[in-house]
Structure 1
Amino acid sequence: MKIQKKKIVLIEDDVALGNSILELLLLSNFDVVWFEESRVALHYLTQNIPDLVISDLMMPDMNGEELYLNIRKNKKFNVVPFVIITANVDDEVKLRQLEHGVNDYIMKPFKVKELIFKVNNVLEFRRNIEKNFGNDPFSKVTIKLSEKDFLTSLNELLLKDMKSKPDLDELSRKLFISKSTLDKRIRKLTGKNISQYIREFKIQYAMKLINLGERNIQFLVDQTGFRSFSYFSTSFKLYLNMTPRDYIKSIQASNFEL
């Protein structure tokens, strides 16, 4: 059976750089559509949903940040990774993009391996999300337990409100069961109480963000809804037997060896 190529939309107004990136991605067996103008790309994206968008940050007319915010208005893009290419090393600019939800950065100048590794990482991240949580885990969830697995339904709800402290009464209501039944079913299926299950679910999400390249631990704390930096670090170490910083170092060492 023929494997379908992953579709990437590239937006880069520098012709020389755009040609180089296009060639690298094509050689890596991706299906690529390249645009030099962001507004033309935006029009294309209103009618086509790729597997990944890679965009330069600094562009005339509409920059990468504006493009990202525009396409995110369409909920179909909730699970489409967006990677920024930039020479801007301003932490404030980078953090603002991450706060918006941009998945990763590729800093100019970059190495060929870095580009391909990051592209593969974010696509693998998306594949795992779809595998574990469904094709659109961030969309409005309508639960029908007769049609969907209980844990999958629970995971969708937790993922949707990842940044918030879970309201167990609200979770129970959306799953059409009582709070005591919710805890009993989780214990029966996983051997964990509801608090432990939710805490470890959030830690697993943080680990995926780290694997995608995120290195700011406070950002991970905020994204996963932990009430404090120390509680996040303690929970992370309890789950993985290493601190977030040590886990980040292990990932960096692994990437360096590659």
Structure 2
Amino acid sequence: MKTRSRVHLFMLFALLWGVNVRAQQSLRESYIEEYAQLAVAEMNRSGIPASITLAQGILESGNGQSELARKSNNHFGIKCHSDWKGAKVYHDDDEKGECFRRYDKPQYSFEDHTDFLMRGSRYAFLFELDPNDYKGWAKGLKKAGYATAPEYADRLIKIIEDEMLYRFDGGAALTPAVAGGTGPVLDKKGRPVTNARERFVLRRVQSEGTRVAFVLFQKGDRLEYIADSLHLPSAALLQFNDWTHEVVVAEG
């Protein structure tokens, strides 16, 4: 009887654990969909890889569910520091009642995260890295003291690779064959992506120091189809290409 009870308890815990994992994954996917456009916009403004911005936001805000993110729109755990003149909120962290920055909306948190890294002299060396070197950025942030957790860089890298966030950096995830204009796009496990996505050819180009990702597509493809195939928000494609919601693209 005791053995059977233990088995039932184990099965219950396993079920609850599985439900929680699926819920967290759903929250993470929603976070990426909602904030990818902001991360890409900040990358274009500063050179900070969008994958790094998204991974930090996911990690620091708990997929957007932390109290600091929900109540104060602070997605990156940035503390007040002596030069902060904006709104403040007090929250227990490494010490009790620490001062954190509060924002009116998430967009301002993303913008301030960029400014915080660009202004900080200890982060200056990061901007000398290859723009697609998300591993270098992750390790550099840890080295510069952005976070105290020993595994901080590894956790960022795992999030980026698990969720393929490098796709927002302008093509860093492509295989050499794809980068050259031929070959399949790969999924998370390195398998060729079939059906809709296999018709897209991704390339990476350097243009005046800016990363630009572009797509070759077929005549008649609609915005929603392209966005879904590339795992990008439709709004991001609209912004980057000056399109309208009713666009039907020409070939190429």
TM-score range, shorter chain: under 0.3
Pair member with larger Rg: 2
Q: Which has the higher contact order (CA 8 A, sep 6+)?
A: 2
Instruction: Using structure 1 for the length normalisation, give the TM-score.
Output: 0.26
Give TM-score scaled by structure 2 length.
0.26
